[in-house]
Structure 1
Amino acid sequence: MEEISHSDLHLRIPEMEADAEMRRLINAFNAMIERVETSFAHVNEFSSHVAHELKTPLAIIRGEVELALNETRDIAEYQRVLTVTVEEIDRLIRIIKDLLMLARLDFNPDVFRFEKINLKEFLAEIHEYTSILCEEKGVTSGLTVPDVDCFVRADRVHLRRLFLNLVHNAVKFTPAGGDIRINMAADGNDVRISVADTGAGIAPADMEKIFEKFFRAHDAKTTSGTSLGLSIARSIARAHQGRIDVQSSPGQGSTFTVSLPAAP
């Protein structure tokens, strides 16, 4: 047991000739060490991803500033350098804010303030924002809701963040001339809200990974963003006792469906 430490957690206590109580203790201890080992692995992986995400904008900032300092430039070039620097600083701030939000969602459930929300009214506001984004890109949009009111118990601020993340994703990957639709339907004790687009779609190999922190599909490497939006959306859905499902085919668009418990 003394050989097991934070630097070597793969060791386990071997089962031995002992009474039933001692064997239960050994099994419980080994299970605990396995959980600790898994947690350490997740922390190391997460730290590596964070370092990579922060390193890229910092490298761009340093490169632009060094270029400007090498020799005298005209005013337009200095303005370009400053513009790029501000954009990359904003990207750093977004990454840090998203990381802090994930930490709060995963470890501090008290951040949620639940209330009864009329989803028809709520989604009308989401669609109004969606239509502005779509118009700027030359994409059409639409909203379909049932005739009757549907209610859920939710934190309005975080639920808005969930759907705006899905909408931003849809707009980002839908080319001009495409279409984005928000649909709501009651399904037994649940309410289902889908955000469907006619964009690039998702490769089958990526379907299981898209909700992972920092995951970025190969054909999305050049797009902007923190790669945390879908992770945040899933965490918010789970905090509301709900879930997010996705259906997609490459070149055929994607549909993200949020299922939430209906409120009486």
Structure 2
Amino acid sequence: MLRTTTHLRALTPQDLPELHRLLDLDPLVNLFVRNRVDATKLQARWLGGQVWGYFEDGALVSACHAGANVVPVEATPAALEMFAEQILADNIRPSSIVGPRDTVLPFWKLLEPRWGPARSPRLAQPFMVLDRDSRIPPDPRVRPVLIDEFEAVYPACVAMFTEEVGVDPEATSRAGYRARVAQLISQGWSFAIIEDGEVIFKTEVGAATPQACQLQGVYVHPDLRGQGIAGPAIAGVVHLVRQTIAPIVTLYVNDHNTVARRAYERVGFEHTTTFASILL
């Protein structure tokens, strides 16, 4: 019986056609990595890490984005073992491991003995999809944020990140976080309701491809929560992003956040698979 020959290596721009084929096996779930690949063309100076490929008999079977976020792509059990060995050998310490739950949990099982307990394991995160405008009326106040509104929106971004991730982004890289918020505004990927200089609601598109985009950082001002603002506001964002960015809108949410899940369901998002995130 012939043995399968396997190997792992960093992918290069010459691997783009085969990597695209792999990512297109599930373009919604693999959206983050496809966005990074499209933006950088696998040029190391822009990627801020590597994308590894796991090959069987010369064919690309699985991949893994290895940077600040570790994100496996179509990863088989054998590929996960090799990715884990490479991460440990290269002494990579990401801020998170993110992806489909059935992949992330066995991946973390391989890494946890060396890295110790996770700071915040999110073991069940419904991945939700909407491919049409919402069935509820959109809030007409939702609009793209203007770059001269950066200083108004930035504190809400910091508050949301701190609340959701449990880390103050200004404590780790203030300049880097400010640059990222400004980049999203400049791209037309930041949306908000702003009244009298106060951010009532905001969210961003964190990643996009021609097929789909992913919302992140949904925030309602603490004094206004529980007043039904989120649903119509998100419906407004969905309408705008489907016109200007991509026809399918995705997001993922912590399973225990029942208030947010109900809001997304009212808008029309459907739970299609389950993610997990290991925050380190």
Which TM-score band (shorter chain)? under 0.3
Larger radius of gyration, structure 1 or 2?
1
Q: Which has the higher strand share?
A: 2
TM-score by length of 1: 0.24
Q: Per chain length, whose mean CA-contact separation is higher, i.e. which structure has more relative contact order (CA < 8 Å, sep 6+)?
A: 2
